[in-house]
Amino acid sequence: MDFYETSAFEENARKLQQRDILYPVPFVGFPLTDATIIPPNAQEPTTVDLTETTEELHPETQLLTSVGISRGMVLNQACDLSNHPGRGKPILIARVLPAQERVKDLDSDNTVKKRVGAIKTLANPGRSPSVFYLPEQQGDDFHMPRCVVDLLEARSFPPSQFDALSALIRARLSQAALQSLQERLAYCFGRFGAPDELFYDEEWQFEAERVANKQAQSSQSS
């Protein structure tokens, strides 16, 4: 069974979809305890520990960040993807990393037995809920070694970047692989029940009375 699309991908290559693998995608980051900032009107940057900063920073303070260029995968469902800046939702791209950076047993120097064991672990969403395994992909102009998608390391782009991101599409998962990705997303970002009153303050009394009255009316009518 194919993990990546071929001919179907070519026909719709420029319409951004959940499951698309993009390159190059910038991922930004900085340390909180060793942040480099440039205050307004300052000539030189300075290093601060933001966790110990007692005074509020000026709104025009600049923060210097590091940028890593990596592969990325589109996480949004199709209904949330739009190239209309006024109507679309942010486009969420998760980082794609070489597998051995997260799973040592997938190193090519290890035995086949160890690699098979590692892949079995990655294929199980209950055991690896926050990463998704990507087998090696060799295309005409794009090569990707064994990788994992880190679902917890992601950045968002505004809807206005839809066309720009579409131009970065390098590969696309097959339909079967997409279903597996969606299962992994459900494990990683699962929904859990919460008490009805959790989101209310004084409004909860009003809601409780409304529910009680409705139940009383229902009992009387029966």
CATH classification of the domain holding 120: 2.30.30.110
Does residue 4 contact residue 172 with C-beta atoms inside 8 Å?
yes
- 219 belongs to a structural domain: no
Distance of CA 76 to the CA centre of its chain: 8
Number of domains in the chain: 1
pLDDT at 110: 72
Read off the amino acid at residue 18.
Answer: Q
**Whole-model pTM?**
0.78
- 139 belongs to a structural domain: yes
- 142 belongs to a structural domain: yes
- 48 belongs to a structural domain: no
- 222 belongs to a structural domain: no
Q: How confident is the model at residue 196 (pLDDT cuts 50, 70, 90)?
A: confident
Residue 88 lies in domain: 7-30+65-191
- 120 belongs to a structural domain: yes
HSE (side-chain half, CA atoms, 13 Å) at 141? 6
Residue 7 has pLDDT above 80, yes or no: no
Over residues 16-40, the mean pLDDT reads 92
DSSP state of 39: -
